[in-house]
Amino acid sequence: MRNLALIAALLFAPMPAMAETITGVSSVIDGDTLEVRGQRIRLHGIDAPESRQICIRADGTSLRCGQQAALALSDRIGRQQVSCRVRDTDRYGRAIAVCVQDGSDLNEWMVQQGWAVAYRRYSRDYIPAEEDARRSRRNIWSGQFDMPWNWRRAQRGG
């Protein structure tokens, strides 16, 4: 009887989040967060400037780089479907995923375009894309900016 209960528990246990794929039309929350079918998804391995974050262009003028990052991602996705392969869940309950559209890794695209950085604390997946964007001085790399994690810490006062 105990074996039967164990088998039933295993059969009806929820599948781990890492096996899940979330597919649908997305809304862009910010440069590294989407919402698909009511689920918040944090893009794995990248960190984009925060919505209120300001960067400085090479000519010294300011750029609302966080807002621009979100707009770039929104323009790239349009109203087409994305497919997000969940790898984990963060402390806020968001799925952490690699999202693709038409076979293109959107996480990597954001870093390649210079609208996000490789989030080395969690992954080394996008370091080559970041190095390319930096060398080419694309977008945030064309001027000065605070790394998003440093900017967030400064906003919290510590």
C-alpha dihedral, 97 to 100 to 104 to 108, nearest 10°:
-20
**What does pLDDT average to over the chain?**
91
Instruction: Kindly calculate the radius of gyration of the chain based on its CA atoms and give it in whole angstroms.
Output: 18
**Predicted local confidence at residue 2, as pLDDT:** 54
Label residue 99 by pLDDT band (50, 70, 90). Answer: very high
Per-residue pLDDT reduced to its tens digit, 51-92: 999 999 999 999 999 999 999 999 999 999 999 999 999 999
Label residue 157 by pLDDT band (50, 70, 90). Answer: confident
- 3-state secondary structure (DSSP) of residue 151: helix
69, 62 Cβ separation under 8 angstroms: no
Backbone region of residue 112 per phi and psi (left: phi > 0; alpha: psi in -120 to 50; beta: other values) = alpha
**Predicted local confidence at residue 18, as pLDDT:** 46
Topology of the domain comprising 14-146: OB fold (Dihydrolipoamide Acetyltransferase, E2P) (2.40.50)
Dihedral sign computed on CA atoms, order 63, 64, 65, 69:
negative
- The tokens describing 158, both together, are 């510590």
